């Protein structure tokens, strides 16, 4: 049985974005010891995260703001960006721009030592037709798009962002999973 490292992430930093009228957010846990009240430092991290995310979102998505949620739940702080940040990733005109198409970056912590518990983390993005995604395809094969690699790199380099439940730093596995989100399909169609 794995040993609990005794640390916890203090909460999550999330980025809010708009997809043709639908509001989405994606976020990452904060590393243990991060001051969740340190809004000035976290604003800098949020801006870096948002700019990297914009490169991974198609041009018809707009990033509107960011916020913090305590580990105990509920928003503790939200803030709009002074200017909305438009997505800059191209799209594939031969693929329908489904509301429900998602890509997920998967990560896993290294743990704090032999036998220490370690957790997983993932970042889910509603990307429409920015990436080739056939029905039934579950993993991005071949070369991962540079915008997704850059997003994972920015988060991986941060000393405060992208942690597991325990607050241990996450390493991107290099895996990108693909899915059509059933909840969105039920409310908005594909």
Range among 53-57, 113-117, 138-142 rated most confident:
53-57
Mean pLDDT for the stretch of residues 54-58: 96
List the one residue out of 174, 170, 115 whose CA is nearest residue 141.
Answer: 174
Report if residue 152 sits inside a domain: yes
Mean pLDDT for the stretch of residues 121-149: 89
Report if residue 40 sits inside a domain: yes
Q: What's the pLDDT band for 114 if we cut at 50, 70, 90?
A: low
List the one residue out of 96, 27, 95, 85 whose CA is nearest residue 61.
Answer: 85
pTM score > 0.95 for this model?
A: no
Which residue range is the domain that position 35 belongs to?
Answer: 11-188
Report if residue 36 sits inside a domain: yes
The domain total for the chain is 1
Average pLDDT, the chain: 90
Report if residue 2 sits inside a domain: no
Q: What's the pLDDT band for 167 if we cut at 50, 70, 90?
A: very high
């Amino acid at each position: 049985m794995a040993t609990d490292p005794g640390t916890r992430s203090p909460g999550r930093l999330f980025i809010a974005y708009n997809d043709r009228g639908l509001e989405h957010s994606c976020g990452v846990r904060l590393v243990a010891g991060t001051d969740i009240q340190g809004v000035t430092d976290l604003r800098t991290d949020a801006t870096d995260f948002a700019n990297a995310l914009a490169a991974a979102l198609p041009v018809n998505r707009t990033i509107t703001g960011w916020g913090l949620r305590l580990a105990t739940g509920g928003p503790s702080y939200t803030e709009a960006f002074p200017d909305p940040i438009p997505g800059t990733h191209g799209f594939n005109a031969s693929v329908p721009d489904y509301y429900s198409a998602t890509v997920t970056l998967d990560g896993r912590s290294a743990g704090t030592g032999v036998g220490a518990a370690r957790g997983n983390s993932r970042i889910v993005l509603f990307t429409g037709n920015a990436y080739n995604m056939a029905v039934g395809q579950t993993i991005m094969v071949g070369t991962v798009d540079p915008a997704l690699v850059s997003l994972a790199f920015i988060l991986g380099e941060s000393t405060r962002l992208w942690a597991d439940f325990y607050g241990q730093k996450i390493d991107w596995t290099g895996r990108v999973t693909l899915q059509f989100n059933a909840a969105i399909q039920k409310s908005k169609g594909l």
